[in-house]
Each structure stands twice: as structure tokens, then as C-alpha cells.
Structure 1
Amino acid sequence: MTVTRDELSPAARRLCDAMAAGFPGPGDAAALRAAVAAGAPGRPAGPEVASVYDTTAGGVPVRVYDPAPGAAGRPLAVYLHGGGWVMCGPDTHDALCRALAAASGAVVVSADYRLAPEHPWPAAADDALAVLLWARAEAQRLGCDPARVVVAGDSSGGNLAAVTALRAPGMVAGQLLAYPPLDASMGSESVAAYGRGYFHTAAHMAWYWDQYGGDPAHPHVSPLRAADVMGLPRTLIVLADCDLLRDEGLEYARRLGEAGVDCEVRLYPGVFHGFLGLPLPAARAAVAGAAAWLAATP
């Protein structure tokens, strides 16, 4: 008899299986959106934040989280939600944005960018850049330092954050990338290892890439294909060990480090893709660490 050890923690495995049981297969954007709107099992609510309001930024709907209205000189994070470029929005990522704002003291601007397949590439990337430009222009009014504006995002939002940093050289003080898809070729070893049985499947990821569109070799689609990453800002890459996207993040970190970029990788064992929003000790540690990194933006 062959015994295979599960690499997920028992708590993560329970959540993974419960989430996968209620999650549709790829192919129906409406069904996927309905599933994420219903929420993950036990997803915690975010902390209270002094001021939370919706507005527009460069024509893009955004939600602004300000933990200390009237303060000055703080960092500002443009947050780009995950969801395969197809689903999710400020509502699904409200708790995470609240946690980042409350723990870091930074203003967090959560972008409700256009979704595929109705709005394929480069719509989401253009919206992300528009919000960044707005954030730079409005930073002082929001009590922030224009030189301390960072881009952040999880999953497909991490892709958009990386793309935005590439498109706006010298305008971003940092990039926070949580388990980002960085190469549409999906050729890494972690895809083979974790493409099934860990909630986020290779079949889903391939379908998301197809809906998003664009040239897979273009660096503003696949940032790992960028010819030159020198001059990119300080970077924090947060990864789940049991994630098909793990190796793309590790490879990007290697390339950034070789180019002289201040890049830190935090790899969390025993968890799967999307863990930041879940009631797991690793998620609490990762969010706290990300908030501390954000607060330390020079």
C-alpha cells in the first residue's frame, strides 16, 4: 500500500475541500462569479477602519480605506484584487483591504477594474495604471506621500500590480505580489505538482488566461517574459507552498534579485492559493507581515 502525505495542514485541507466542493469548473463566468459572491467557508470579517468610501479614480470605481483621516505623509497602496481577471471585486476583498489598512496605517485604494471576458486585455491593466496615476496625483489630498505609493494585489491582481510597476518606471515605491500568475505558458514544475486537488486548478488557470487574452509573450501579459527588470521597486512576493503558481513567483524573485532589485520572498508552507483571506494562522501571519512591509515603505 502506498501512503501519500498531504502537504496541506489539516485546517487548510478542510477549507480547501469545502471550497472546491462548491466551486464550479471553468467555462461559465456567471457561475464562477456567483460562487465567489457567496463567500468562502468561514471567511473572517475585516477590522473597523475609520473611513471607508467609494469614489472614482481616473474613471475607475474604487473603494478607499483610510485608517487615520487627517494624518499626513503615509504610504498609499493601490490594491488590485484577484479572481482570474474574471470575477471578484472590492466586496470580495473588503476584509483583506481593511486588514492591510488597519495594520499598516496606510491608505488603501481598492480598484474595481473591468473584468474579462467582457473586457479582455488590456482593459484591466489600463484601469490599474489609471488608478495608480490618480493615486500619485491625489496622494497629498489623501494624507499620503506621493513618493510612497505602492501597487499591491493577489493572484490576477498580483499580475496587474507587476505589470503596472513595469509600465510606470520610477512612479512606484514598491510592489506587493501575492501568489501572482506571471507566465501564461504555465510550464513550471509546480503546475504539474499542484494543478489538481488544491482548489485552484491548472484547468481553471488556463481558462482564466484564455478569457483575459493578449499575447502570452508580451511582458504586460506575462511579466516573467520582461526582457529587463532592472530598476523595478522594492518587492515583496507572498507565496503558498501548495500552489501551482509558486514557481513563477520564485523565478520572478530570482530574476529581480539578479537585477539588483530589493526583493523578499515569503513562502508559507501547508497552505494553498488564495489563503490570505482565510481563517488560518499562516494567513494572519502573512497579512501582518505584508502590512509591516507596507508601513516601512521608504
Structure 2
Amino acid sequence: MAVDPQIQPLLDRANAAGPPDFGRLTAADMRAGINAMLASFNAGRPPVEGVETRDMELRAAPPLAGRIYRPAAGERPSAALVFFHGGGWVVGDIESHDVFCRRIATLVGCAVVSVDYRLAPENPFPAAPEDAVAALEAVRARAEELGLDPRRLAVGGDSAGGALAAVAAQAAAKAGVGLAGQLLICPATDLASPPPPGGSRERLGSGYLLTDAEIRWYADQYLPAGIDRTDPRASPMFGNLAGLAPAIVATAGYDPVRDDGIGYAEALAHAGTPVEHLHFPTLVHGFNLLDAISVEADRAVRAMAGALGRLVA
């Protein structure tokens, strides 16, 4: 099955521009480029109506900020998704995923708390997973104040954020805290194992927006030399997968980290954790941010929202 024809022009432009010089690239360069690209995806789209937002402090020191999204006509107390944005632990922020969080809030009818966790290389591992766990704990502790139902809290994220959501779900289970679910979109779950010959990293590592060279660059920015990459906070595939909150794992057919998501879904199921695996064969990594240019990506976002809605109902 071919890549979504509505996404192909985006791939053509990216491929024509050529790969970055990763030997000279800085995090600031990458952030500027990615932010400009993400902004272009939503250029001209009508605003998502009916969502109230408020920026908030989740922790004073080191600072950890967030933004809560809530349907204007939503119930109180409401279900909530604690969300971690993607970006290779290096790029992305609350603004890069603002539209997606608004859409999830409206489609599911729940609150979304988007977390502005610390980024590498300025704040390398384990800063991001520590922030993810702290953010979930803060939202649970302040659930009554925020008008949230602590029995209907879920975690979620895309790409690197999907890994952080998986880490937070594992930490919650270890602490005996029940969650309603976890939404893992194109998650990068294994930074330790060499990509197998013939796997998605080899076959899809160029030409589909996210490249194998970019994946390696992100991991090198995030993980200092000498770090054990099998640490479950870096590679949740190596954590205890039994007894976790029910998971929705979304994967894309043209995603170089597709095998990470598929493998994690299979491992969760093998460990006895309920899993709904949503696979979108014509889409690419980051499809959840492409719904303004792709009908199929929009359908995928709606499918994920429907699955999440069933978990937090």
C-alpha cells in the first residue's frame, strides 16, 4: 500500500531539500527548522473552537510548566490525558502540539494537560522521564483543584513523548497507582537494541520525513556517553510490562520506528496488559500533526480519540 498521496508532496519537498549536516547541526538549529515545519502544517486551518486553556506550574524547582485544555461545555470533574509532546527529547514544546491537544480535548470530551518537560542536550537523560513522572504525580495531587476525576486519568504522547508516557505508566504501576489508560503514538521504546537487518529502521530510514540519521542524532543528544540504554526510563521496552494501564498503541506503515511500536504492543499483550493496536498503513511518523493536510491522518486522530474515550469513560 502506497504512502498517503496527500502526504507525498510534503515528503517530496523534504527529500528535495536534502538531509541536514548532522555534524554541524545544533539543537537550536533543529528546533527552528522543526517549529517552522510544524507551523506550516496548520497554516490557514480554522481554529479549534470550544476549548478553554490555562497555563500552569506543575513544579516550582526545577521549573515544570504545563497547559490545561478543557472543553468549554465539558463535565466536572472530568477525565484527563496527561500528554507529552514528541520531538526526539530535543525539539517540540507545548506550542508545537497545541492544535493536537485541542482536538483531543474536543473529540474525547476530556481535559488534556500538556507537559513542557526539559529538553536535551541542555537537560539530558534522565531529566525528561523524571519530569514525566513528576507531572503525572502533580496532576493527580491537584485533581480536585483542577476539576479532574483522579480515577479517569490517562497518559499519552507521540514519538519521544510516547516513550515518556510509557515510562510514566510503568512508574504509576510500580507505585500502585491505577491509571485509566495510556495512548502511545509512534512510540520510540527501545534505544538500546541495534536495528535488525530488514527492519523498519533499515527499510524506511530515508524518504519518509523522519530518517534513521535523525533518530541517531536525537538519541546522541539525549543520552550521555556511558548511560545504560537498557534503563527502562530510556527504553521502556526493558521495563516491567505486567499490570500496566490498558494501552492504545498507534503505529504508521511508513514510520522508521514502526517496529518499536509494534514490538511494544506485542510485549504488553504477552505480559497480560490489555492493548488495542491501531495501525495506519499509509501514514508516516508524526501523522497526528498532519490532520490538516491529510484526510487519512484526520481519520487516524479520530480513531485514537475514540479508543481513548472508551478507556476514560
TM range (shorter): over 0.9
- Give the Å deviation of 1:10: 1.9
SS at match of 1:264: strand
- Give the Å deviation of 1:50: 3.3
Q: Name the counterpart of 2:202.
A: 192
Which stretches in structure 2 are left out of the alignment for 5+ residues? none
> d(CA) in 1 for partners of 2:16 and 2:168?
34
Which piece of structure 1 moves more, 47-56 or 172-181? 47-56
Q: Name the counterpart of 1:113.
A: 117
SS at match of 2:145: coil
SS at match of 1:10: coil
SS at match of 1:141: helix
- Give the Å deviation of 1:292: 1.8
SS at match of 2:166: helix
> d(CA) in 2 for partners of 1:165 and 1:46?
32
> d(CA) in 2 for partners of 1:70 and 1:103?
11
CA contact (8 A) 1:25 1:204 kept: no
> d(CA) in 2 for partners of 1:273 and 1:103?
21
Q: Name the counterpart of 1:103.
A: 107
Q: Name the counterpart of 2:76.
A: 72
* 1:155 correspondence with 2:159: yes
Residues 80 and 72 of structure 1, relative CA distance in 2, 3 Å threshold: same
> d(CA) in 2 for partners of 1:25 and 1:139?
45
Q: Name the counterpart of 1:272.
A: 284
SS at match of 2:72: coil
> d(CA) in 2 for partners of 1:56 and 1:286?
31
> d(CA) in 1 for partners of 2:7 and 2:286?
11
Q: Name the counterpart of 2:129.
A: 125
> d(CA) in 2 for partners of 1:137 and 1:285?
34
Residue of 235, 253, 259 corresponding to 1:222: 235
Residue of 237, 241, 250 corresponding to 1:238: 250
Q: Name the counterpart of 1:13.
A: 8
- Give the Å deviation of 1:224: 1.1
CA contact (8 A) 2:41 2:289 kept: no
Which residues of 2 match residues 204-215 of structure 1 at below 5 A?
Answer: 204-213=214-223, 214-215=227-228
Deviations along 1:203-230, whole A, 9 cap, x unmatched?
110111111114211111111122x311
CA contact (8 A) 2:105 2:112 kept: yes
Q: Name the counterpart of 1:3.
A: none
Q: TM-score, normalised by structure 2?
A: 0.88
Deviations along 1:89-140, whole A, 9 cap, x unmatched?
0111000000000111111000111100000011111111111011111222
> d(CA) in 2 for partners of 1:147 and 1:272?
33
> d(CA) in 1 for partners of 2:182 and 2:4?
29
Which residues of 2 match residues 134-173 of structure 1 at below 5 A?
Answer: 134-169=138-173, 170-173=177-180
CA contact (8 A) 1:229 1:255 kept: yes
Residue of 20, 28, 31 corresponding to 2:29: 31
* 1:294 correspondence with 2:289: no
> d(CA) in 2 for partners of 1:182 and 1:88?
18
- Give the Å deviation of 1:46: 4.9
* 1:256 correspondence with 2:268: yes
> d(CA) in 2 for partners of 1:70 and 1:251?
36
CA contact (8 A) 1:70 1:143 kept: no
CA contact (8 A) 1:49 1:65 kept: no
Deviations along 1:255-287, whole A, 9 cap, x unmatched?
111111110111111111111111212221121
Residues 190 and 46 of structure 1, relative CA distance in 2, 3 Å threshold: farther
Q: Report the AA paired with residue 204 of structure 2.
A: Y
Q: Name the counterpart of 1:183.
A: 190
CA contact (8 A) 2:188 2:257 kept: yes
> d(CA) in 2 for partners of 1:54 and 1:39?
24
CA contact (8 A) 2:244 2:273 kept: yes
Residues 273 and 186 of structure 1, relative CA distance in 2, 3 Å threshold: farther
Residues 152 and 186 of structure 1, relative CA distance in 2, 3 Å threshold: farther
Q: Percent identity?
A: 39
CA contact (8 A) 2:4 2:296 kept: no
Count of residue correspondences? 292
